[in-house]
Structure 1
């Protein structure tokens, strides 16, 4: 079943702790939120083989969820696991390029060469900056009124965990599968947002739109940087979109698609999905290898002028490409 108490913790970083030498080490972050202390427990090693986690970070993150995040009060904010809001979904939310995920050891001698070092780089900066805020997405535990926190000692014990992908799991962890409930760390600094996303190597990338379980019949591959043969990722790319055409509504929105393969691709039966999860089928065209085509955006898909996402899925329902945007100047074509 999905996570029971999914949401995002907003607050100030007060302390941090690296763990090593345990079966399931975490990178621990102490966060103060509206006078209450929380511990954010970030997995840095998996209890299942292969143990090293997959990691990606953006040091200048942009996405349409950011204005809503910035408006949240400090504290734990429950989130509905639905599209169009602030919940994270690695696959459907178009948060990052799947191929940017890389494996990292949890803790290794030497500078800047393990996952704890990467987290230190951003968390210590936020700890030293009184204006920085941390947004930790995951599942809440506590409060535990009579139990001090086992790492930082504050009372009541209180925190957030599952700061990682929470779908496409294997074995006993399939119980946590769900959509729009992925974890992550976002840090807001005065000049930029930083986003950190983690996944386990044995999690699958293509999952069911309702359950978050791994789709049956998909070639076995996790969310690593190189999709397995047979997976459709990035075969067709969304390279541009006219989101806000000149003139009154209804506007003639368009997207431009590029065939990166060596074969013609018939887009009949493929679909576009917008941020609100509206879906519309395409009726072509056939894209020759290396060619691009500008096609109308069919209803009910609508590209919001104040930010949104565009996702392309093939006739089997598998995600091929996805983009996110935050602004749409009138009459200007956005490029991705």
Structure 2
């Protein structure tokens, strides 16, 4: 099995806010895609089971030399399949970054710029000010007919979730495993590209061709925790 509706949303952000008082908090982004179509991006900032922190890595000088297709695409959500897999993300097979550099960060710590909500707000806030183009990888939901968005109230509700690694899961989330379907955020600022990658401590960095966990390979590609929480 794989996640449904995998693809990439291209557009600009117009609002962003963190959540700290929900049982499954997210950092929420309001984006505009094609023809003023609105989307809500729900970015996990905590495991729903409270057993697995979110790992994050931000590359503030991301090498975008190989990114040639995304800037030519129209705004809106583009589904990704075997015919256009060259624009997909895969944290393991794509060699996008060193996974050992990912760090866990709680979603709610008092004080400025010291939790995951704060980190995301820094980059999304700058993107809003600069009207920077954002590419969000994940799975699409909606449109939800006759139902406004529960966070930003636009109608119909629609958006993107699973904005994180989508392989190496066990337990209830194993059905979401698959190669070349990882989530993430790329921001095209005027002077540089910034990449934001997210995963869960419970996910394995050794997966087979279906995205399922395999035997431990080495220390940089191991399960970073025994929890199976999300």
Q: TM-score, normalised by structure 1?
A: 0.63
Partner residue in 2 for 1:147: 147
Which sections of structure 2, spanning at least 5 residues, go unmatched?
A: 226-230
Write the deviation string for residues 48-105 of structure 1: whole angstroms up to 9, x where unpaired.
3533210001011114552111111100011125786000000001111111100101
Partner residue in 2 for 1:213: 212
Query: Pairwise mapping of residues 42-57 of structure 1 onto structure 2 (< 5 A)?
Result: 42-57=43-58
Q: Secondary structure at the match of 1:66?
A: coil
CA distance in 1, matches of 2:111, 2:215: 42
CA contact (8 A) 2:52 2:202 kept: no
CA distance in 1, matches of 2:216, 2:201: 19
Larger radius of gyration: 1
CA contact (8 A) 2:64 2:193 kept: no
Partner residue in 2 for 1:181: 181
Q: Secondary structure at the match of 1:182?
A: coil
CA distance in 2, matches of 1:90, 1:53: 15
CA contact (8 A) 2:147 2:157 kept: yes
How many residues of Structure 1 are paired with residues of Structure 2 in the alignment?
A: 222
Partner residue in 1 for 2:135: 135
Partner residue in 2 for 1:118: 119
Partner residue in 1 for 2:41: 40
CA distance in 2, matches of 1:41, 1:137: 11
Partner residue in 1 for 2:228: none
Flag the structure with more relative contact order, 1 or 2, with Cα contacts below 8 A and sequence separation at least 6. 2
Partner residue in 2 for 1:109: 110
Over aligned residue pairs, what C-alpha RMSD do you find?
1.8
Partner residue in 1 for 2:19: 19
CA contact (8 A) 2:109 2:115 kept: yes
Q: Secondary structure at the match of 1:221?
A: coil
Partner residue in 2 for 1:321: none
CA distance in 1, matches of 2:83, 2:90: 9
Instruction: Give the CA deviation at 1:107.
Output: 1.5
* Greater helix proportion: 2
Query: Pairwise mapping of residues 234-273 of structure 1 onto structure 2 (< 5 A)?
Result: none
